[in-house]
Amino acid sequence: MGSVVFREKVRRPEPSGLSRDRLERPLLDEAGPSVCLLLAPAGSGKTTLLGQVAATPHRPTAWYRARPEDRSEDALVQHVTEALSVVLPNALAPSTTVDQLIVATESGVPSPAQLIVDDVHELAGSPAEAALERFLEFRPRHLRLLLGSRRPLALNTPRLIVSGDLLELDSDDLRFRSWEVEELFRSVYRQPLSPEAAAALTRRTGGWAAGLQLFHLATMGKSSTERIRAATELGGRSRLVRAYLTRNVLAGLAPERRNFLLITSALGRLTGPLCDELLEQTGSSAVLEELETLQFFTTSTDDGSTYRYHQVLQTHLEGLLIDELGAAASREIHSRSGHLLEKAGYPREAMRAHALADDWASVARLLQQGNTVAHDWVARSGLPDDDPWLALARARRLFRSGAVDAAVAAYRDAEAMLDDPEFQARCADERAQAEVWMTQPPQATPVRRTGQVIRQATKRLPGLGPGPQAAPGDPLAAGTIALLGGRFDLARECLTPVAADPAMRQAGRLWAAIAVVVTDLAVGNWSHAEVPLEEIALSAELEELPWLARIARGLQAAVLLATRPEDWRPDGCASLVDECTRDGDRWGSLLMAIFIGTAQLKAGQDQAAIEWLRRAATAAENLEAHALQAWAFTLGSVAMARLRHPNTAVQLKGAEGLIRSAAVTGAYRLLDHARQLADEDSSTNEVPATTPPSAVPERSGCVLRTLGGFEVVLNGKPVAWPPLRPRARALLLLLAIHQGKDLHRERLIDALWPDAPADAGPHRLQVAASNVRQSLAAVGLGDQAVQRNGDAYRLVLPGTWIDLTEFETRLRRARRSGTLADWSGVLDLYVGELLPEVGAAEWVLAERDRYRLAAADAAVQVAGLATDAQALRAAHRAVDLDPLRDSSWLLLADLQEAQGDPTAAAATRREHARICAELAAPVSPRVRPVRDGSRVQA
């Protein structure tokens, strides 16, 4: 007798929850693997995601939810047959074995189709699992298979992954990111959370989907203030969370395994030897490995050297430890754990264990031994307030939180608690580091540390006047100074190795990582920047560096404000600034205001950008951070110019004065752009009135830009592109920079699919070209924009204004005439490097360098032909565009000297000599460009 098939098991669930494109996209990718496995613990959102994928109209989708009674081969076959028959035009032939089922699907399943099997872990170790493995291997490949499981399957998954036949998403992939939590509570639950509350909830739950749902249920009907407070306090002690974990996670565990989890939770960081010593037994390494393999809320980030329990499970187990063994026994176990962790070299975890054991003497002792730990719990009320080492920890915590003034006062209080010269010297030294960031430090501090060098650079950048120089062996300071100065390529070059250097202190690594993201944003690469910022914020929170976590979260919120505009995002960003103000974090408030203002500028919200950047400029002035003030003023100038604000001219002059006084030479390019937008050419003689208008080429029907970033403007509005796969988008960009020219298919395949088999490359090119053609048609550019001529492809957009074509036209005219007006027209059009968003893709590098060097030529010519401020700006730009050209440096130094700034001229020559020394090239003072009033020979 066959197994009974309940229709409920093959009924596809209604889609619910937040649609997350980053997860759905790979599962729906037609060119992706034909088998997808979602492997994660209970409550991770596997069923929700599979339900959302099943609801898409891409292909017929069958659904089967496995249950414990389906463990026979016959039961599996009948349920799969029924599931497929529900969605296919004709029912499959009845089958009793998996081989019969495979034969039936070969003839009865049209292409394409997909089968989703949820809760596959219910079949583990059964004949049904073996049958499913055979079905997976021999089924027709046009039938995609999506599996959801809490436990690993008896499949050779490594082989499938390597062969490209399997895509696996694990609990880390499925966990909610902080911005997704914010969207979930606003869009789905209709109970908005501020960004900081969403980040706190993400941290407390580890992004666990069930934890977020339980929090929502627990706070329904509560006020916004109560929800925010609950988000910061949520843990495993929540009644709903405890009930879920008890029923869905801990239920059914063998007593010895449950006891293992309970006792070892006191360690926080788990290793086999530590667990063995605490439990006075052996075999713990195998247990930990098994827990991770089984996806039992246990993870390892160092290939099995150490493990941690999921945050929610960890908190739940700590509560159970007290409930089941009593407070005294819990303190004893935590005390033993603290001493074991000390001996193993884990002081951070040891301090926490001692604190949970109420052993504050041991906490103070560990603080005395090392000066880098300052936990969240040292700021709690109820701790001893007369211990100098705990007082020092509180001061460190305040400093790491950005509350500089409060930290300085706390350092003074700690210093007065202990009459010990060594302790007082330590307090005074750390206090001096904090005082550097005050507006008016109590005393002058010698510039010798990275933070002090950077702080001085915020007032005036080194190299163009009096001020500190970054030490040659200090790439963190050098990179940050380059970033402040607008030399983004140099900043990235300095900071990328720092962010990846394990020998660097964690605070330095994380700051470098944030700064690298800023360099990407500065050159126009905003897409998906929120992803690395999420990882940076989580790392900073784990390392207990709250100010860096706050900055990463603020920058992330600004990126989302620009790239995913929603009506509620501005209020969320404003709440982050309010949080900084509340906590006394003046520097955080300043940076947040710049981030938000820049994001609003990017999003085209110019009035909001003006208000935020004005706020940032005021904050920077109060902190004497003149370099940041210069950037805020200059960015504000762009927004005001675009709005034709009546005070634009005043703003531009103020920005130029700040740029000059703070030596932020990299901002001149942005200032020139603002001047061009303001159309002040004729009144200021910055650019002659005969320069062809380039700021508003939108007067033509269609505009194609690739300098400074890819953009198409149609009838005055930027085109919103339909989703394109990365290779198809790369094809569009490659055709765009050669618009109207035939590109042979071999060249395109070699550029975009260099490793593709010979027979696969042409097919992939055809598919990508078809996708590009459809996208261009969808946005109103016609279905013949991508044309094929034999084996070549070309992009044809008749009547389109194209910046590269205009650049070439102006360059030819300037080379013939040699006039200032024509050379200025070339330089004005070069608003940034060619397609910065594609990074160092080989197919763009040669063209990118060609246009950059041509713009550098134009800058040299303008510098030689213009006068005063325009000449100086052009010379600075020539150096920025081509720092290896001797004539640009020498011309800049000549102009600085001629305009009465010999100090700046000397600094320029020193910098030129330094670059030449690095390149082992001689410096010749006789090699100079000729300035004859009409043309410069460079």
Only one residue has tokens 């002690």, namely: 237
The whole-number pLDDT of residue 690 equals: 30
Q: What is the pLDDT of residues 396-431, one digit of tens each?
A: 889 999 999 999 999 998 888 877 788 888 888 889
Q: What is the pLDDT of residues 483-510, one digit of tens each?
A: 999 989 889 999 999 999 988 889 999 9
Lowest mean pLDDT of 692-701, 748-757, 790-799, name the range.
Answer: 692-701
**Helix residue ranges, H only, 779-841:** 803-817, 820-829
> pLDDT higher for 382 or 634?
634
The whole-number pLDDT of residue 466 equals: 36
The verdict on domain 451-678 having CATH code 1.20.80.10 is no
Is pLDDT above 50 for 683?
no
Is pLDDT above 80 for 285?
yes
Cα(17)–Cα(281) distance, rounded to whole angstroms?
45
Is pLDDT above 80 for 151?
yes
- Averaged pLDDT, 18-25: 90
What is the band of 262 on the pLDDT scale with cuts at 50, 70, 90?
very high
Lowest mean pLDDT of 231-235, 601-605, 885-889, name the range.
Answer: 231-235
> pLDDT higher for 111 or 937?
111
> pLDDT higher for 166 or 924?
166
**Helix residue ranges, H only, 234-304:** 239-245, 255-264, 272-279, 284-293
Structure tokens that stand for 420 in this block? 């010990």
Rg over CA atoms, the chain: 32
Residue ranges of the chain that CATH labels 1.25.40.10? 451-678
Only one residue has tokens 């990365």, namely: 726
- Averaged pLDDT, 440-458: 71
Report the mean per-residue pLDDT for the chain. 84
The whole-number pLDDT of residue 194 equals: 82
The whole-number pLDDT of residue 761 equals: 83
The whole-number pLDDT of residue 883 equals: 86
Cα(454)–Cα(318) distance, rounded to whole angstroms?
43
DSSP result, 706-736: -BTS-EEEETTEE--PPP--HHHHHHHHHHH
The whole-number pLDDT of residue 118 equals: 95
What is the band of 278 on the pLDDT scale with cuts at 50, 70, 90?
very high
Is pLDDT above 50 for 609?
yes
Q: Which CATH architecture has domain 7-174?
A: 3-Layer(aba) Sandwich (3.40)
Contact 889, 665 (CB under 8 A): no
- Averaged pLDDT, 156-180: 85
SS3 505: coil
Cα(497)–Cα(500) distance, rounded to whole angstroms?
5
Is pLDDT above 80 for 374?
no
Q: What is the pLDDT of residues 531-570, one digit of tens each?
A: 899 999 989 988 889 999 999 999 999 999 998 888 888 9
The whole-number pLDDT of residue 375 equals: 53
What is the band of 679 on the pLDDT scale with cuts at 50, 70, 90?
low
The whole-number pLDDT of residue 2 equals: 60
Contacts 24+ apart (CB under 8 A), 278-287: 278/333, 278/336, 278/337, 278/340, 284/260, 287/257, 287/260
Q: How far is CA 304 from the centre of its chain?
A: 27
Work out whether the CA dihedral 898, 901, 902, 904 comes out positive or negative. negative
The whole-number pLDDT of residue 370 equals: 63
Only one residue has tokens 């900084």, namely: 580
Only one residue has tokens 């007067």, namely: 699
Q: Are strands 743-744 and 792-795 parallel, antiparallel or unpaired?
A: antiparallel
Cα(209)–Cα(187) distance, rounded to whole angstroms?
15
The whole-number pLDDT of residue 691 equals: 32
Lowest mean pLDDT of 294-298, 460-464, 639-643, 798-802, name the range.
Answer: 460-464
Residue ranges of the chain that CATH labels 3.40.50.300? 7-174
The whole-number pLDDT of residue 189 equals: 87
Q: How far is CA 136 from the centre of its chain?
A: 36
What is the band of 226 on the pLDDT scale with cuts at 50, 70, 90?
confident
Contact 166, 37 (CB under 8 A): yes
Is pLDDT above 80 for 686?
no
> pLDDT higher for 490 or 245?
490
The whole-number pLDDT of residue 936 equals: 38
The whole-number pLDDT of residue 938 equals: 36
Name, of 62-76, 98-112, 218-232, 859-873, the range with top average pLDDT: 62-76
Lowest mean pLDDT of 18-27, 596-605, 838-847, name the range.
Answer: 838-847
Is pLDDT above 60 for 706?
yes
The whole-number pLDDT of residue 318 equals: 86
Cα(872)–Cα(1) distance, rounded to whole angstroms?
92
Q: How far is CA 897 from the centre of its chain?
A: 43
What is the band of 383 on the pLDDT scale with cuts at 50, 70, 90?
low
Domain 701-798: which topology?
A: Arc Repressor Mutant, subunit A (1.10.10)
Cα(553)–Cα(573) distance, rounded to whole angstroms?
10
Q: Where are the beta strands (DSSP E) in 421-472?
A: none
Quick one: the chain helix, strand, coil %, rounded to 5?
Answer: 60, 5, 30
Cα(168)–Cα(154) distance, rounded to whole angstroms?
14
Is pLDDT above 50 for 174?
yes
Name, of 507-516, 526-535, 703-712, 830-839, the range with top average pLDDT: 507-516
The whole-number pLDDT of residue 467 equals: 38
- Averaged pLDDT, 321-337: 91
Lowest mean pLDDT of 160-174, 273-287, 487-501, 649-663, name the range.
Answer: 160-174
CATH number at 804-937: 1.25.40
What is the band of 101 on the pLDDT scale with cuts at 50, 70, 90?
very high
Is pLDDT above 80 for 181?
yes
The whole-number pLDDT of residue 485 equals: 92
Is pLDDT above 70 for 440?
no
Residue ranges of the chain that CATH labels 1.10.10.10? 701-798
What is the band of 372 on the pLDDT scale with cuts at 50, 70, 90?
very low
Cα(39)–Cα(32) distance, rounded to whole angstroms?
18
Sequence-separated (6 or more) residues with CB below 8 Å from residue 123: 66, 70, 71, 76, 129, 132
